[in-house]
Amino acid sequence: MEEHIGEKVVDYKGNVLELIDYRSKHDVDVRAYNGMIFNVQYGTFLNGLKKEMQKLYRIGERNINNQGCGMTIINYEDTRHCTIKFDDGTVIKGIQYDSFVKGAVKNNNYKSIYGIGCYGYGKYTSDDKAYVYWFNMLNRCYNPKYLKTRPTYIQCYVCDEWHNYQNFAKWFEENYYEIEGEEMCLDKDIIIKGNKMYAPETCIFVPALINSIFTKGDSVRGECCIGISKNDSGEYRVYVSNYGKAKKGYIPIKMR
């Protein structure tokens, strides 16, 4: 009705809402402070369009989560259904607004492990055996304290694909096996001599016993295969392990 046109109320943030068309109490048009038009019921207008204005105000709202990651609300349905976009491009749907405000929205693509590794999004969890191997691999390559005690790992690194735990865990699931009574090791040196990179194409699982046989000793073996060195007289020394006890022997053969 004509007498209602021009009526004004304020929303919950104190901005003016103006009724610009009234067709019935169930069908009115309201203009918000920014010029946006809402078609609502007259009673909703009188109550300040609380739900509609929440959506308007909260889209674009920013916060920092507990990991220190910047995030923005890019879609708002209601207090229980928000879509969040992190500054690194990660998008998560179905987030509660309260969790956003508290910074309790976790970004699984955040590189939380030595600034390199991220948990990622997928079915694999930190309770899986793969996680222990993944973490230890990153620890060997990127933990300064570890590298001080194990300098042979200096310059070793993990391929980009395996920075994401979900990718490593999938490969682990497809390649891991067990031998009764044996500890299984993730090895990067057997396939490629002198290799520094942990990657799907360079790594295999081997029993600890076998791994000890192939333990590197570059300064001793020179250009020989892993487990073999050559002395000054041209004889070859072979290193083997008898159930964990290292032994060595000479093969009196000279290569020409």
Q: Are 116 and 142 in contact (CB under 8 A)?
A: yes
Q: What is the pLDDT of residue 51?
A: 87
162 domain-assigned: no
Residues 31 and 65 in one domain: no
On whether both 69 and 45 belong to a single domain, the answer is: no
Q: Is residue 213 part of a domain?
A: no
The verdict on residue 89 lying in a domain is: yes
Output the pLDDT for position 54: 87
63-79 pLDDT per residue, tens: 999 999 999 999 999 99
Q: Locate 248 and state its tokens.
A: 């060595």
Residues 72, 45 share a domain: no
Give domain status of residue 202, yes or no.
Answer: no
pLDDT value of position 3 = 87
Task: Report the pLDDT value the prediction gives residue 123, as an integer from 0 to 100.
Answer: 98
Which pLDDT score is estimated for 210?
Answer: 81
Domain end (from 25, 50, 75) = 50
**According to the model, what pLDDT value does residue 110 have?**
98
| Together in a domain, 38 and 70 | no
Whether 19 and 41 share a structural domain: yes
Considering the domain boundaries, does residue 83 fall inside one? yes
**Residue 107 and residue 68: Cα distance in Å, rounded?**
10
H or E element in which residue 151 lies: none
Look up the domain containing 42 and give its range. Answer: 2-50
Residues sharing a CB contact under 8 Å with residue 56, sequence separation 6 or more, in sequence order: 32, 34, 36
Taking the C-alpha atoms of residue 20 and residue 42, their distance in angstroms, rounded to an integer, is 11
- Residue 217 in any domain: the answer is no
Helix, strand, coil percent content, the chain, rounded in steps of 5: 30, 30, 40
Is residue 79 domain-resident?
Answer: yes
What's the burial of 82, exposed, middle or buried (CB within 10 Å: 0-12/13-18/19+)? buried
Q: Please tell me the predicted confidence (pLDDT) of residue 256.
A: 41
Going by their DSSP bridges, the two strands 157-158 and 197-198 should be labelled as parallel
Flag whether 183 is in a domain: no
Number of domains the chain contains: 2
Q: Which residue positions in the chain have pLDDT lower than 70? A: 1, 214-256
In angstroms, rounded to a whole number, what is the distance separating the alpha carbons of residues 66 and 63? 10
Evaluate if pTM is beyond 0.85.
Answer: no
Q: How far apart are CA 59 and CA 35, in angstroms?
A: 16
